[in-house]
């Protein structure tokens, strides 16, 4: 059994809205092991965004424990949380969130700017490696506006890889892309997963889940289903099955 | 950035125009002779009867020479002997005043020549019979529009050669016609007209209006020494400055300074608000970027530093460009609109410093807000 990098136990998150208390998460427990490709599914209001914020160390649970790579996140300060995010998590967002007017390579270097342990030369070297890994080795100096949506998301993926995180956290990473491009991106995720990178993918699209090794379904702040996927679809094969485009 | 540039540039240009106008108004007031100092023989008492100053003979050429040699606050000095008489040119004649002076008199009175030239020191030494006459005299003794320069005319019985004509000056504040004058070397007037060897007055001008009161004290000291007066003796002369004009001068100056300060502070305030807006909008529109930077590990302090450095860079480059633009605008105004301008060093320093400081402050304030943002909210911000 490989090591669990995420340990969640009886996690609860409540928001106070005026006089009412909203229970976004009502006691969630699961582990994510190294090398897993987990999709977290759920309809709106199921608590998946809250789950994502806590997993990403952007938010703190009201009660329960969350441990990432052996670090208990509860009671850490804002700055300590920032360091955890910087060193252990790679974020990928639905809307890419690249810095406009900034080249691909500079976008990828961004997380390392906040890590004083990495020198300038190493930062550049690692950014180039990450971009090569996502197949953008030729477009290092393009700005986001000169790249397609799929390419922008690849830059974002490269950015999430550059700090060698223990886990990549993707939030609806294919939500803004057409089917073909999302399959390309999913193929890239599967490829990265095969290289041993742990991926947690939050989505509401069921077909995305079929590419992952495990699916956790949330409903009303509780885990409704948590199953291993024994019949993992290959995104590369699905891509090949799509009708050829004329371009 | 543009706001800062225009803010700094407009302050510099406004202050340059203001300073220029101030200078030109000061010059105008000075041309009324506001820094003039007159020294007269004092009223003496003879047998209980107070004598008129003009009959006194206590003011001499050696007094003039002592003042000339010892004073430090006077720019020009001239002995003055004066009298009344008839100016005669052929069949035309006109009663006028004759002033026996030296060439510096025109500088003291701040009056120029319309044509011809002033007599020289040599002509003073040789008691030459040459004269410079005012417009009123010209009109009355040359009624047919003849050029007076080079003509021979008589004052009483003495023939003088007209060598210059004064510019028109009009009446002074007491209604005296300042153009009704006949100016000749004081030596000539002393010997040929009045037959005296004392002086009626000494006229001087202080280096500046501000120096006039001290110049009065200085001249008094010199004359007391010169007249060998003991501490108990009262002055046997009077030294007067143009107090009314000086107070006009200084109050006008002060008003203009207040006006300038007001204009400058309003411009700077507007510039500062412009900077604040720019910085605030810059932070606002980059909320999402801030969220992202925080998500990938940027700490609050990192974000604060980033925006602060940006604000400093923008303010300083904007300030420098503004100074250049302001100086350029000033040169343009001077060259093409012919407005008097004068760039004061303080206006450059003040506008630059104020813009840099407001830029940094108004950059720091939104930057602080940015660094305190919740990363989740910032990321979701549209």
pLDDT tens-place string over residues A116-164: 888 999 999 999 999 998 888 888 899 999 999 889 999 999 999 998 8
Q: Which residue of A has its CA nearest to B292?
A: A97
Name the residue with tokens 């209604």: B175
Tell me what the mean pLDDT of segment A78-86 comes to: 90
Predicted pLDDT at B53: 57
Q: If 0-12 CB within 10 Å is exposed, 13-18 middle and 19+ buried, where does residue B362 land?
A: buried
Burial B307-326 (b: 16+ CB within 10 A, else e): bbebbeebbbebbebbbebb
β-pairing verdict for A63-68 and A71-72: antiparallel
Predicted pLDDT at B377: 83
Interval B261-280: pLDDT, tens:
788 778 777 777 777 777 77
- Quick check: B239 and B38 in contact, CB under 8 A? yes
Spans of chain B, pLDDT less than 50: none
- Which two three-digit tokens encode residue B272? 């500062």
Chain A residues inside the 8 Å CB shell of B298: 82, 86, 114
Query: Does A35-62+78-239 carry CATH code 3.40.91.50?
Result: no
d(CA A175, CA A204): 9
Interval A9-30: pLDDT, tens:
999 999 888 888 888 899 999 9
> Judged by CB atoms within 8 Å, which residues 84-103 of A form the interface with B?
85-87, 91, 93, 97, 99
Q: How far is B298 from chain A (nearest CA, A)?
A: 6
The pLDDT > 70 percentage for chain A reads 98
Chain B residues inside the 8 Å CB shell of A115: 297
The pLDDT > 90 percentage for chain B reads 8
Write the DSSP symbol of residue B311.
H
ipTM above 0.95, yes or no: no
- CB-based contact (8 Å) between B293 and chain A? yes
A247 pLDDT above the threshold of 60: no
- CB-based contact (8 Å) between A53 and chain B? yes
- Quick check: A154 and A185 in contact, CB under 8 A? yes
- Which two three-digit tokens encode residue B95? 């009663």
Predicted pLDDT at B131: 92
Name the residue with tokens 């390419």: A151
Q: How far is A82 from chain B (nearest CA, A)?
A: 4
Identify from B292, B296, B375, B378 which residue to disrupt to test chain A contact, counting A C-beta atoms within 10 A and taking the largest count: B296
A198 pLDDT above the threshold of 90: yes
CB contact under 8 A, A85 and B288: no
A38 pLDDT above the threshold of 90: yes
A246 pLDDT above the threshold of 60: no
pTM of the full structure: 0.64
Q: How far is B322 from chain A (nearest CA, A)?
A: 26
Identify from A77, A78, A82 which residue to disrupt to test chain B contact, counting B C-beta atoms within 10 A and taking the largest count: A82
């Amino acid at each position: 059994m490989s090591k669990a990098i995420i340990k969640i136990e009886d996690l609860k998150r409540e928001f106070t809205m005026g006089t009412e208390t909203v229970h976004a998460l009502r006691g969630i427990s699961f582990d994510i092991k190294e090398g897993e490709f987990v999709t977290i599914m759920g309809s709106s209001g199921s608590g998946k965004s809250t789950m994502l914020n806590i997993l990403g160390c952007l938010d703190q649970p009201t009660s329960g424990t969350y441990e990432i790579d052996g670090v208990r996140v509860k009671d850490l300060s804002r700055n300590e949380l920032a360091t955890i995010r910087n060193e252990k998590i790679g974020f990928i967002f639905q809307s890419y969130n690249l810095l406009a007017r900034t080249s691909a390579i500079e976008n990828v270097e961004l997380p390392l700017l906040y890590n004083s342990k990495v020198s300038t030369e190493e930062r550049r070297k690692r950014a180039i490696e990450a971009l090569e890994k996502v197949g953008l080795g030729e477009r290092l100096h393009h700005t986001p506006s000169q790249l397609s949506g799929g390419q922008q998301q690849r830059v974002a993926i490269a950015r999430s890889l550059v700090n060698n995180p223990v886990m990549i956290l993707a939030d609806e990473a294919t939500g803004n892309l057409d089917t073909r491009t999302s399959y390309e991106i999913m193929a890239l995720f599967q490829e990265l997963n095969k290289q041993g990178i742990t991926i947690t993918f939050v989505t509401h699209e069921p077909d995305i889940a079929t590419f992952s090794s495990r699916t956790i379904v949330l409903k009303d702040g509780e885990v409704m289903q948590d199953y291993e996927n024994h019949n993992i679809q290959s995104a590369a094969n699905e891509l090949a099955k799509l009708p050829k485009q004329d371009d | 950035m543009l706001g800062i540039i225009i803010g700094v540039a407009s302050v510099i240009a406004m202050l340059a125009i203001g300073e220029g106008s101030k200078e030109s108004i000061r010059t105008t007031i000075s041309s009324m002779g506001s820094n003039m100092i007159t020294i007269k023989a004092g009223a003496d008492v003879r047998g209980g009867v107070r004598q008129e100053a003009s009959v006194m003979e206590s003011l001499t050429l050696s007094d003039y020479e002592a003042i000339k040699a010892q004073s430090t606050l006077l720019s020009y000095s001239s002995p003055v002997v004066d009298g009344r008489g008839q100016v005669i040119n052929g069949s035309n004649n006109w009663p006028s005043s004759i002033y026996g002076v030296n060439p510096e008199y025109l500088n003291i009175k701040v009056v120029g020549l319309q044509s011809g030239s002033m007599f020289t020191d040599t002509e003073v030494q040789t008691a030459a019979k040459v004269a410079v006459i005012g417009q009123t005299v010209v009109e009355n003794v040359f009624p047919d529009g003849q050029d007076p320069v080079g003509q021979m005319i008589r004052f009483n019985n003495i023939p003088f050669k007209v060598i210059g004509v004064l510019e028109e000056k009009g009446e002074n504040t007491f209604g005296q016609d300042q153009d009704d004058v006949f100016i000749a070397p004081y030596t000539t007037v002393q010997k040929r007209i009045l037959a005296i060897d004392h002086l009626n007055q000494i006229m001087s001008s202080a280096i500046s209006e501000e120096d006039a009161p001290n110049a009065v004290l200085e001249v008094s000291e010199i004359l007391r020494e010169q007249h060998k007066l003991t501490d108990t003796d009262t002055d046997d002369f009077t030294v007067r400055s143009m107090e009314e004009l000086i107070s006009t001068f200084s109050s006008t100056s002060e008003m203009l300074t207040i006006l300038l300060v007001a204009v400058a502070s309003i411009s700077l305030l507007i510039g500062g608000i412009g900077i604040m807006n720019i910085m605030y909008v810059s932070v606002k529109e980059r909320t999402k970027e801030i969220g992202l930077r925080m998500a990938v590990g940027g700490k609050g302090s990192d974000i604060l530093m980033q925006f602060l450095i940006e604000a400093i860079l923008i303010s300083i480059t904007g300030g420098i460009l503004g100074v250049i633009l302001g100086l350029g605008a000033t040169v343009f105004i001077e060259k093409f609109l012919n407005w008097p301008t004068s760039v004061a060093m303080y206006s450059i320093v003040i506008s630059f410093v104020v813009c840099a400081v407001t830029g940094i402050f108004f950059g720091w304030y939104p930057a602080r807000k940015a660094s305190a943002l919740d990363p989740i909210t910032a990321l979701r911000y549209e």
